Structure 1
């Protein structure tokens, strides 16, 4: 059954807790979403609060995919670029699909929903995202139409002696 995607859902305690649970579960399953496992809700919460602040300041939009039980199953933040010379593209951050739903095509569905949402925003001509090298994520994003446009070797230190490339991907919308 496909996910039901909503752009800018009301931020309720249930949504907040659902995103926290998703973020922890994705991280603990090895997902590259800003933390390394194991992680707790208390460690993730300040980053989620920063995302909510950006939403309140209208710098970011939240896309949520709900499963058939109404639970948060996927998220992505579409963050507008504040630099006056770069407002024609946005960043896609914290792209997550819950581990219990992986392998069902929901990642592709999430990226397609993010593209549709970006196309509704005035003046947006592209989506940029970064991903952690060494996990095959750039191949996945490439299969969804994104092109690798940059790579910074060893920019992400997962642990001492475990450095990964920071890979920049772009999806042109124009």
Structure 2
């Protein structure tokens, strides 16, 4: 059954808690979403608060995918550029699909919904994202239409002696 995507849903305590659970579960399953496992909801909470503040300030938009039971199953944050020379593209952050739903095409659905959401915003011509090298994420994003446009070798230190590339991907929307 497909996910139901909503751009800019009302942030209720249930939604907030669902995103915290999703973020912790994705991280603890090995997902590269800003943390190294193990994490708890309380570890993730300060980062979610930063995203929620950016949403309240109008700098970030939230895309949420709910499963058939109404649980948060996927998210992506669309961060608008404030630099006057770069307002024609946005960043896609914290792209997550719950591990219980992986392998069903929901990641592709989430990226398609994010592209549709970006197209609905005035003047947005492209989406940029970064991903952690060494996990095959570049291949997944490329299969969804993104192109690698930059790479910083060893920019992400997962652990001492375990440095990964920071890979920049771009999806033109026009």
Report the TM-score when normalising by structure 1: 1.00
The residue aligned with 1:112 is 112
Secondary structure of the residue aligned to 1:87 is coil
State how far apart, in whole Å, the 1-side matches of 2:126 and 2:81 are.
Answer: 11
Q: Which residue does 1:102 correspond to in 2?
A: 102
SS at match of 2:50: helix
1:81 Cα offset (Å): 0.7
Looking at structure 2, the residues matched to 69 and 42 of structure 1 have their Cα atoms a distance apart, in angstroms, of 25
Question: Could you say what secondary structure the match of 2:149 adopts?
Answer: strand
Gaps of 5+ in 1: none
Task: Name 1:3's counterpart in structure 2.
Answer: 3
Q: What CA distance in whole angstroms lies between the structure 1 residues aligned with 2:81 and 2:144? A: 22
Distance in 2 (CA, whole Å) between partners of 1:158 and 1:28 is 14
Give the match for residue 53 of structure 2.
53
RMSD over equivalenced CA pairs, Å? 0.3
Give the match for residue 90 of structure 1.
90
Paired position in structure 2 for 1:80: 80
Q: Structure 1 residue runs of 4+, over 3 Å off?
A: none
Cα distance in structure 1, aligned partners of 2:27 and 2:166 = 17
1:156 — aligned with what?
A: 156
- Summarize deviations over 1:40-85 as a string: whole Å, max 9, x none: 1111000000000000000000000000000000000000011110
Structure 1 distance, partners of 2:76, 2:4, is: 14
1:21, 1:98 → 2: CA distance?
9
1:83 and 1:163 map into 2 onto residues whose CA distance is 30
Q: TM-score, normalised by structure 2?
A: 1.00
Where do 5+ consecutive residues of structure 2 fail to align?
none
Aligned length: 174
